[in-house]
Structure 1
């Protein structure tokens, strides 16, 4: 037998899912659009390129400065 609090929790969660579920469209919850392939590719190159290129740029800066 379920207690009153568990029935309340079940009702709250089911209402949340019913009212706030957007159908599970892929990419809907991302902070960027995935519809434009070229813009997405540019974002990926900038994001990963900055992280992978930063150590080499820092190393070059340290070697060039006097």
Structure 2
């Protein structure tokens, strides 16, 4: 997910995306622990997407305040 795509979303959409990514991150960690993880690069990608969403959400909140 690109930063420009994230900036175009509303705060509610960002919250929904963040929840979905955290759920996916949990599932990936569970798969890794049980030895069923196939796409190991996805763990890193999800982690970076979560950080990207949190950063942009904080920037948008700072602009409003």
Q: TM-score, normalised by structure 2?
A: 0.30
Q: TM-score, normalised by structure 1?
A: 0.30
* Higher helix fraction (1 or 2): 2
Computing the radius of gyration over CA atoms, which structure comes out larger, 1 or 2?
1
Q: Which has the higher contact order (CA 8 A, sep 6+)?
A: 2
